[in-house]
Amino acid sequence: MEKAFLEELLKAQKNFFWSGKTRNISFRIEALNKLKDTIKAHEEEVLGAIYKDLRKTSMDGYATEIAGVYDEINYAIKNVRSWSKVQKVETPVFLFPSKSYVHKEPFGVTLIIAPWNYPFQLLMLPLAGAIAAGNTAILKPSEISANTAAVMEKIINKVFPKEYLHVVQGGANETQTLIEMPLDYIFFTGSVAVGKAVMAAAAKNLIPLTLELGGKSPAIVHKDADLILAARKIAWGKFINAGQTCIAPDYVLVHTNRKDDFLKELKKAIRNFYGEDAAAHPRYCRIINDRHFQRLNAMLNNANTLSGGKTNAADRYIEPTIIYPVQWDDPIMRDEIFGPLLPILTYSDLDDIIRRIRERPEPLSLYLFSDDQAVQTKVIDEIPFGGGAINNTIFHIVSHFMPFGGVGTSGMGAYHGKVSFDTFSHAKSILKSSSKFDPLAAVYPHKKFFMKIMRKIIG
């Protein structure tokens, strides 16, 4: 993608934005409906592309990539009128008789950058928020999930004028050009390393941004846990998308007393889900490309395999694999795994693992298996992480009533539902005073009683 084209595109989108069309709520609702209709009309093509990229079945493609997008769009259509209403708020007594209002304003031209692991959802979900809030958008899918990127380009660029919404293709170079432009907002989903580069570029123009990043998300199986449930939830959350999920349990911390039974249940759950040969199971995905296959293979070769471990480079297949025993300073505990390798560590002291997790970068998610209220409170209060679940995995992401996002190195800002609308809006506060009566004249330099009045009102 030529730099000159991108600069022209930005100019065209700025002009379109300032034409005022996107301020109209009916225009936004129409765009959201159009987006949903075009996805519906091309659903099979989208699912086919996701299959080509990740070997994901239509059923799983629909459940993990498309259903959430429809839900987000429907929810935005239903609520965007009330979300965008000018909100009258209270006015402090010392500003009497003025009135106070908060206007939710679109930023202008937004840039949405997506990764390859859920290539459709992670571009379309933020897009729904950007549209609802009245922005224009330049959309940059991941070049690694090339099939899905091509379909998204086709369906968006056919239905929407380029000065409103436009998909541009490219990798690091094109993205670098984009993030150096004077955009009005950047929404980035991807790795911590690239997130830092995006933030550094945005800082040069002081562009506000959201960073949805990754990290190592622990699952804690406490001594009172229901082990069958824990094993199923962890196996499902880890091996869906062949472990290439930002909120997958990266590793498990199991209480020493329950370790043997948990490992037995975990192996059973994997066998129940994927049979004796996961390679032959239609609902088991493949690794996205050779580079990631080699990266994971090197991790595997360096670790103690308890079960699984089979690979096939030509097919980019890696079997669901349990790594045990594992110590905190083993190589597999260094970086986010992002693949179907599940290290298991044991613990006997909850405070010790809380301290160890806190010493590391903040996880995007955390999962706790325990019905003990005191343990739940302790883990939630004493460990910083983006969000998570108790006696469950992954599903906290699907609720449009809860913000989704990281904290610290796992990201900043959040989205989903109304939070998406707020993320893509600037809250502009307006104090409206009367031109007839000016009690604040008391602050003028020639007035004597200012301090006296202030002390009387405020104390």
Give the catalytic positions in this structure: 212, 246
Interaction residues for ligand NAD, span 147-186 (CB under 6 A): 171-172, 175-176
Cα–Cα distance, 344 to 340 (Å, whole number): 13
CA distance 444 to 442: 6
Q: Choose between 153 and 226: whose C-beta lies nearer to ligand NAD.
A: 153
Minimal distance in Å, beta carbon 155 to ligand NAD? 18
Of 208 and 413, CB closest to ligand NAD: 413
Least distance CB 413 / ligand NAD (angstroms): 10
Residues 6+ away with beta carbon under 8 Å from 47 = 58, 61, 62, 65, 66
Identify the helix (H) or strand (E) that includes residue 346.
Answer: strand 341-347
| Torsions phi, psi for 86 (to 5 deg) | -65, 130
Cβ burial, residue 158 (10 Å; 0-12/13-18/19+):
exposed
The nearer residue to ligand NAD, 134 or 386, going by C-beta atoms, is 386
Binding residues for ligand NAD, total number by CB under 6 A? 27
284/338 with CB nearer ligand NAD: 338
- Minimal distance in Å, beta carbon 225 to ligand NAD? 26
Member of 50, 165, 194, 337 binding ligand NAD (CB under 6 A) = 194
Does 361 sit behind a cis peptide bond, omega within 30 degrees of 0 on the bond before it?
no
Minimal distance in Å, beta carbon 411 to ligand NAD?
Answer: 5
Q: Which two tokens stand for residue 419?
A: 């939070």
Stretch that binds ligand NAD, among 135-143, 156-164, 202-210, 306-314 (CB under 6 A): 135-143
- For residues 258 and 420, give the distance between their C-alpha atoms in angstroms, rounded to a whole number: 41
**Quick one: tokens of 18?**
């300032």
The one-letter amino acid at 250: D
DSSP 60-116: HHIIIIIHHHHHHHHHHHHHHHHHTSPEEE---GGGTT-EEEEEEEE-SEEEEE--S
Using CB positions, name the residue nearest to ligand NAD.
Answer: 214
Which one, 115 or 343, has the nearer CB to ligand NAD? 115
Site for ligand NAD in 335-394 (CB under 6 A): 336, 338, 364
> Which one, 84 or 365, has the nearer CB to ligand NAD?
365
Which residue in 61, 320, 361, 406 binds ligand NAD (CB under 6 A)? 406
Report if residue 115 touches ligand NAD, rule: CB under 6 A: yes
The number of residues making up the chain comes to 459
What's the closest the beta carbon of residue 168 comes to ligand NAD, in angstroms?
Answer: 11
Site string for ligand NAD, 212-251 (x = CB under 6 A): xxx-------------------------------x-----
| Shortest CB 291 distance to ligand NAD, Å | 10
Cα–Cα distances in angstroms (integers) from residue 458 to residues 90, 95, 347, 431, 443, in the given order: 17, 12, 54, 20, 15
Q: Which three-class secondary structure state does DSSP give residue 365?
A: strand
Binding residues among 198-217 for ligand NAD as defined by CB under 6 A: 212-214
Region near ligand NAD per CB under 6 A, out of 63-71, 139-147, 254-262, 438-446:
139-147
Question: Contacting ligand NAD (CB under 6 A), which of 6, 66, 69, 122?
Answer: 122
Query: Which of residues 13, 110, 177, 189 is near ligand NAD by CB under 6 A?
Result: 189
Q: Could you give the angle at which helices 259-274 and 227-239 cross, rounded to 10 degrees?
A: 50
**Cβ nearer to ligand NAD, comparing 384 with 439:** 384
Residue closer to ligand NAD by CB (options 189, 346) is 189
State the number of CA atoms in the 13 A half-sphere of 10 facing the CB: 17
Q: Does 38 bind ligand NAD (CB under 6 A)?
A: no
In the complex, what is the shortest distance from the CB of residue 142 to ligand NAD, in angstroms, rounded to a whole number?
A: 4
Tracing tokens 């003990």 back to the chain, one arrives at 372
Name the residue among 427, 356, 443, 25 with its Cα closest to residue 208. 427
User: Taking CB under 6 A as the criterion, which residues in 252-281 touch ligand NAD?
Assistant: none
| 35 near ligand NAD, judged by CB under 6 A | no
Residue choice 1, 197, 412, 442 for contact with ligand NAD (CB under 6 A): 197
Closer CB to ligand NAD, 142 or 311, in the complex:
142
How far, in Å, CA of 329 to CA of 351, rounded?
A: 18
User: Do 414 and 210 touch, CB atoms closer than 8 A?
Assistant: yes
CB of 190 closer than 8 Å to CB of 115: yes
Query: Interface with ligand NAD by CB under 6 A: which residues?
Result: 113-117, 122, 140, 142-143, 171-172, 175-176, 189-191, 194, 197, 212-214, 246, 336, 338, 364, 406, 411
